[in-house]
Structure 1
Amino acid sequence: MIVPFKTDYKENIKPKVVLVKNKEGIKDENNSMKEKDLYAKSAVLLDADSNRVLYNKNGDQVLPMASTTKIMTCIVVLENSKPDEIVKVSQYASSMPDVQLNIKEGEKYYIKDLLYSLMLESHNDTAVALAEHVGGTVEGFADLMNKKAKEIGCKHTYFITPNGLDKTDKNGTHSTTGIDLARIMSYCIKKSPKSKEFLKITREPNYSFASVDGKRSFTCTNHNAFLRMMDGALSGKTGFTNDAGYCYVGSLRKDKKTFVVALLACGWPNNRTYKWKDTKKLMNYGLSNYDYKKFQDMKLDKKELKPVIVKNGQTKEIDDIATTNVRVIENKKQKKDNKAGILLKKDENVEIRYDIKDEVEAPIEEGDKVGTVEYLVDEKVWKTCSVVAMNGVNKIDFEWCYKKVMRKFLIGNFI
């Protein structure tokens, strides 16, 4: 069901939907992705530009996510601290199980250095040290993580630990869904004010640093093998725990397309390579089957953009009907959120919904909104534009009536 556009006007609107067909090809069953083709229990392919889910295998199933948690840890630290802040290691942080940097209680490190330890080597002790510094406590930092998850639009994610170790408390289990995890990665690489810093850290092949006092030095190596597997590979994070199995979230940018793949429960030992196979399958599926289409290139129906009647509006002659021509413009307030286009499969169509008043009440000024044009894919609105008046129309008043009557009277007498 299509919900009508709401205005302050009392008159009812009868929205019309027009189907815009993608004429670039027809459906190819050989390019379809079937659940049996993937190892992961939960697998999602996301368009990072629109956050539209392009493929979904159990994408709403709540599952533990292991160290893929650390992408949220990283972005929360980046957004709530400065690189040169000094972290003092607590006894609790130093007690974390493998994988560890083996930092010791009382030692001090710069945040910028520990973030490489966190993301390249996935060190659990580093995650806790960062969390305690930024959040005061691990619990305080988890609150920041959960708040950020809600801001991003995650619906079924609950963080307890900053490192992803399996844990349950009175409120639930440390867990997420494939869709939520993909959204978090999309935020990290696209929308976060610290996305550039995030990408720089997660793409670094190797990184060396020392403690603040210079007594200990370390070298970290990036374990995200996907960065070397496909042209355009952008970022990613692996994970494994006994409960979660092998997990992965990764991104790729190629041919003006940006994809995110999220995999949960993608095998257990000895199935370490399953996550790479699934990731490449989904990325290639996206690259082969989806093309970017600009909304502005989709032709609008001129018949739907006919002049709007202006009731009680001034006209050149008394018996004329006042109207205003209309044009479609992008909403200024929504310009940042509205997408310029969307990735479409060859057999997918865009529906354009016209929700325009048949008539409005005078007075009306140039630029006044008289309706909307919305672009829908999968029954979801992805782009909204305003339909506005091109010319103003004043309301009929005594002065206008007097002038028109006198003109008609004088002309009539002259004839």
Structure 2
Amino acid sequence: MRRTIVLWIVIGSLLAGWGVTPAAVKAEPPALSTYAEAASLIDVTSGRILYSKQGDKPMKIASLTKVMTAIVAIENGNLSDMVKIGQSAFGKEGSSLYLKLGEEMSLHHLLYGLMLRSGNDAAVAIAEHIGGSIEGFAFLMNQKAQELGMDNTHFMNPHGLDMEGHYSSANDMAKLTAYALKNSVFQEIVKTKTKRVPRPEEKWDAVWNNKNRMLNIYPGADGVKTGYTKQAKRTLISSATRDGQQLAAVTLNDPNDWLDHSNMLDYGFRHYPLQPLVKQGDKAGDGLVLGASFNYPMTDEEAARIAMEPELLQEGTASYRLGERGILKLLMDGQMIGTVPIYAEGSPQLATSVRSAFRFTEDGPASGNGGFIYRLKQVWSALFTLSH
């Protein structure tokens, strides 16, 4: 409790010295509008939803379903497996790779066909190979949805063709996308514009061009998936990376999705840059260091409301003997947005801590709207100077 009080006293006095007052802080970002029935914008690193319009409304999602199909297949299958095209996959209605009955193709290549060309035949073949049946694979999909906290989602098939009981929401699909984009295999597939795949039974290789126009029209675009059915209408997930920050946008039933996604991504990058709060290796007191970096997307106004609260372990505990010393809580308006481990200097656990791609220069953050955050970093150092 004493440390918390000291922290707030230090922040108040130092900010006063820096001249940071409400009048000097930017206002909240302007309202964002879209043509979509439902929409969501998420920061991939933190998982923070930056914008939501009817984000929790269960809706038909069409081929956005294949994001879950792909990640379940990647996590449960062997990419080098040869998958045989069965009767259920052969000639499946809707978008297709035109795979032949009995043809064999590697799971890895099928995943490219699934995500670039939205092949429903590939979806069925993958599902039967991984789950043993459509029903078995749908069970794995729903299990993963539950694990990720997708509370407004239920899958009935791997392709997204309209079916009773098959639905998700914009926010749930944003959560799923942020999770999937942390998988290197998934990320490599969805950012690919063109893929050439050998088909020994044909006279020529298959050449698949990605249907996602965002890859060509939006700078930094690197995914993810298009979708359409008569009932779902146009659905789209896009992602883009700028200055080390990756965002993902989701729209459901949106007649003007390419424009909306460009505007949503611009909005996120402009108003919610990923800002560094602490860096792995920062001093956290005598003989104490932080075990990980922590970045968070926020407006300049929100950055002025960040607080840091250390919670240290008592000596003599098993964790203490292993080198752990506690956690640093990071809060915005009193609500915790994350934690960072605190270790004793030289602890072997430091070697396994997660490193952030964000780096500090000698004069402050290397990029982003980091002026205030750099000052907050100085506050953090001052806090432990005063409290030890």
| Structure 1 residue 385: Cα displacement | 4.2
| Structure 1 residue 330: Cα displacement | 3.3
Q: Secondary structure at the match of 1:94?
A: coil
| Structure 1 residue 124: Cα displacement | 0.9
CA distance in 1 between counterparts of 2:70 and 2:315 reads 54
5 Å-filtered alignment, 1:8-407, equals 16=5, 18=8, 26-28=25-27, 31-34=29-32, 37-168=33-164, 173-190=165-182, 192=183, 195=184, 197-214=185-202, 217-266=205-254, 271=255, 274-296=256-278, 329-330=289-290, 335=292, 340-348=294-302, 349-352=304-307, 354=309, 372-377=327-332, 379-385=334-340
CA contact (8 A) 1:366 1:389 kept: no
Q: 1:161 to 1:225 in 2, by over 3 A?
A: same
1:312 equivalent in structure 2 = none
Q: TM-score, normalised by structure 2?
A: 0.74
CA distance in 2 between counterparts of 1:50 and 1:383 reads 9
Q: 1:157 to 1:293 in 2, by over 3 A?
A: same
- Over residues 72-116 of structure 1, what are the superposed CA-to-partner deviations in whole Å (9 max), with x where a residue is unaligned? 111222222233321111111114212122223222222222222
CA distance in 1 between counterparts of 2:232 and 2:334 reads 34
Aligned residue identity for 2:338: K
CA contact (8 A) 2:39 2:249 kept: yes
CA contact (8 A) 2:62 2:159 kept: yes
| Structure 1 residue 51: Cα displacement | 0.2
Q: 1:363 to 1:286 in 2, by over 3 A?
A: closer
Question: Which deviates further from its counterpart, 207-216 or 341-350?
Answer: 207-216
In terms of Rg, which structure is larger?
A: 1
CA distance in 1 between counterparts of 2:65 and 2:263 reads 23
Q: 1:216 to 1:328 in 2, by over 3 A?
A: same
Q: Secondary structure at the match of 2:174?
A: helix
Q: Percent identity?
A: 30
Q: 1:368 to 1:89 in 2, by over 3 A?
A: closer
Higher relative helix content: 2
CA distance in 1 between counterparts of 2:324 and 2:112 reads 51
Q: 1:67 to 1:15 in 2, by over 3 A?
A: same
Q: Secondary structure at the match of 2:50?
A: strand
| Structure 1 residue 141: Cα displacement | 1.0
Q: 1:147 to 1:367 in 2, by over 3 A?
A: closer
Q: Secondary structure at the match of 1:45?
A: strand
Q: 1:367 to 1:217 in 2, by over 3 A?
A: closer
CA distance in 2 between counterparts of 1:212 and 1:368 reads 57
Question: RMSD of the TM alignment (CA)?
Answer: 3.4
CA contact (8 A) 1:209 1:217 kept: yes
| Structure 1 residue 242: Cα displacement | 1.8
Gap runs ≥5 in structure 2 = 346-388
Question: Which deviates further from its counterpart, 51-60 or 197-206?
Answer: 197-206
| Structure 1 residue 160: Cα displacement | 1.1
CA contact (8 A) 1:327 1:387 kept: no
Q: 1:107 to 1:360 in 2, by over 3 A?
A: closer
CA contact (8 A) 2:307 2:332 kept: no
Q: 1:378 to 1:247 in 2, by over 3 A?
A: farther
Aligned residue identity for 1:185: T
CA distance in 1 between counterparts of 2:290 and 2:143 reads 31
- Over residues 356-396 of structure 1, what are the superposed CA-to-partner deviations in whole Å (9 max), with x where a residue is unaligned? 58x97999989987865411136542232467899xxxxxx
CA distance in 2 between counterparts of 1:379 and 1:214 reads 63
Q: 1:356 to 1:251 in 2, by over 3 A?
A: closer
CA contact (8 A) 1:326 1:388 kept: no
Q: Secondary structure at the match of 1:347?
A: helix
Aligned residue identity for 1:53: I
